Structure formats: structure tokens, C-alpha cells
A and B are shown apart, each in its own frame.
Chain A
Amino acid sequence: MATTRILFSGFGGQGILTLGQLIASIALNKGKEVTWMPSYGAEMRGGTANCSVIISDKMIGSPITSTNIDILCAMNIPSIVKFLDNVKPGGQVYVNSSIVKEPIDRTDVEAVLLDATNIANKLGNIRVANMVMLAAFLQKTDLFTFGDVEEVLHQRFAEKYPQLAALNVDAVKQGLEALA
């Protein structure tokens, strides 16, 4: 795919903006064009948060993905309510099924369910649910590899918090196992 348009959405505090940034950083490492654009404004912990990431081989125009979404990564129910209709036919929806219990009400998109919050809780840190969701990108796209994820986590955490790099890698592995 020449251009991939991704929307990450969830509650503030679920690591939505961070997950988007990590994937944008991976794209940068791989020499791609990339934009990361957060929703901003009167956002708060527990409120809704979302960010758009566009990865491309060519110059990217608008960084906003309010329409024509290739991949919607939805960590809560309001994200599905708000954005499901904006996913392209043939697109994908990655769902945090720990929180979103309702079926995905579209037959022309592929729904990928991940019990992300529960898996993160079992790992002892609910904050890595975003990294569990990242496994869906590894399983369902060829945007990047597990090695790319390890590299970016190393860049981000190795110096100050090496134990966090390991925890995040574990969360991705658990997500991959759940999808296997």
C-alpha cells in the first residue's frame, strides 16, 4: 500500500497518542514519509483522545484522517460509535474487546478483536494495553516487523527505563499470542 491512514482512538490515559507516536517513529526509522496529528483542545484524562497517523512513500497532504481510514484502532466504545463509519470499505478495525463488547456493525471491514486491557492487567500494568493492540498491526499489515518494534522501544526506553522496554515488548508478544 502506498499510503496507509490510521486513526487511533480511546480514553485519555489509554496510551493512544503514545501508540501513534511509536508507530510514527517506526515509520521514520524505515525512511517513510509520516505525519502524526493529535486531537487537541479541552482533552482530559478519562475523556476521549485520538490521533491520526499517515504513513506513505510520497509527500503527505492533509495529516487529518477524519475520512477514508484504512485502519481504525479503537480502545473504547465511543471510538467505534464516532469513527466506524469513516473506515474505508475493505479497511480494518482493531478492537479492544476487553471494553468493546458490542459486535462491529459492518460487514465490509475486517474486525480484529484483542482482549487488550485484560492481557495488560495480567502483565501487571494496565498502561501497556496500547502495546497489546500494536500486535494487530504486526499480524494484519506489513507496515513493520517485530524487530522494528523492539528497535523503537529500545530507542525510547533503554537509557532511562530498560525494564519498561522489556514490559512493552512482552505486551506485544502477548498480543501476538492472543491473535495466533
Chain B
Amino acid sequence: MIQFENVSKKFRTVTVLDKVTLNIQAGERIALVGFNGAGKTTLIRCLLGEYNHQGTILVKDQAARKQRQQILAHVGFVPQLPPPLKMPVGQLLQFAADLCHSQVERMRKIGERLGLDLDQLWNRPFVKLSGGQKQKILISIALGRDSQILIMDEPAANLDPEARRIFFSLLDECPKDTVMLISSHRLDEVAALVNRVVEMDRGQIVLDDKVADQVNLSHQLHCQIQFNRNEDAFAKALQTWQFSSDEQQLVWQGQIAGADRLRFLGMISRYAGLLAQVQLEEVQS
């Protein structure tokens, strides 16, 4: 579906992409990982037809730059940094819906599922929203239309655990042949979402690996944690995951999204010395 063939990009004398070749098939969910400056954002901008480049980028046999408008009609994009748009949320949704031949109502529904009170936010300038609200609006625009390709740059970084769970469910609802390209500088943030990992370093692809362990994005895990003494920092961390505890605050329970388990385990590993028992059990959503 997407072909990068010897794609290079230079800014003056600095080579940011160096002969990148990559083929992406329909239905692949790819984690694009690498340190800052590895070339991930430049690769995405080339794919979005925003940068001139050497080499070829074809999306469904159309050149990314020359036929950008036709290609972008099928691409949902969530940037890493929300743009500082002063326009009200309602106007942004209307503008995006008009351009993408979608309906505002469809985007609204996604936003509401993610926990946004859009009636309240409708006339507020986008730039004045919190980081999480902005991210949810941008996700609503990307998912509230017919996209065959989803390009997301750290899409869940600003979301709370509940919104992340819903976000994963929304991704799971996308047609199975949807291509997802999820960029992150941390693999643990996105590992559970993908079935292929592409790592970039200094403008080149240094790793291209298929992930055998596929996680059902809509699954949830029931988690019970017991620890040997009460610790405020741990309690606060668990409260952000909406866990509840017994009176002594020694036993905590809650649910996490299946796709979030690596991130969750990463979080509790910081308190490994306090843990007496950890139990994770898959439950039906």
C-alpha cells in the first residue's frame, strides 16, 4: 500500500533521511521508533506530501507529493505537538469535516467517547485546551472520517489511562486493512499496539521486525496488586490509573487496557521493592 524507495531528505548540508526503503502492506500496524532526530517526523512529513525529497514515495501507486490531495483524503494524522490554533473547537471540527467529506457529528461522537464534553468546549479556542483535550480533538478528527492510513505521532502520550483504553478500542474498530504508522521515541509506549517495529537512527532504518505477539486492542486486564507497606507515591500513581484500594491501602484493584500492559508494568516496576503480589487476568470488554 505504501512504498518508500531510496527516500533521502537533506536540509542544507544535513542529511535527515538517508536512502530509506520501506514497504508497508495493508493492515500493518507499525511502530516507528527512534531517538529524537532519528528522522521519524521527517519521514512522516514526506509521506504526508509536505516535504520535497529524493527517491520515491508511492501510496496506492500515487506519488505522495504530486497527488498529495488525493492521498490525504484517505489519511488521518495526529501530530505529536498540537498546533496552536486559535480557532474554536467547533470551527476546527467543521473545517476538517468539510475538507475530509465527513460529518462533524461523527467526529463529535468519537470525542465524546474519549471523554470530551464538546458542548462545553465547542466555542473555546483550541489553543486554550489542556494537552489531553487537544490530543482527543485531534484523534477525533483523524478517526472521525474514512481513513485507510492512520499516521500518529505519540498519539496517546497526553491521554489518561481511561482515555487510552477507549483510544485502543477505537483503533481496534478501524477496518482490518487500515495501515497504522505510530511514531514514538519509546517502544514501550506503542509496542502493544503494533505488529511490526521499524527503528530509525540517523536517517536510516536500523531495525525492521515483525511482532509475533498480537494483542487484541479491545481486551482489558483486571489487575490486583498487593504491597507490603503503604507508600503515597505508589498510591498516587495507581489513582491516576483509576485503581481503588482497601482501607489500609495495601491491596489495589482496577482494570487496564490490554494494549497498555507494558506501560503499566513499566510504571509498577519503579516500585518493585514494595510489591508483595501482582495478578493480571484478561477479561472480556
Whether chain B is bound by chain A comes out as no
Interface residues of B (CB under 8 A from A): none
Spell out A's residues near B (CB within 8 Å).
Answer: none
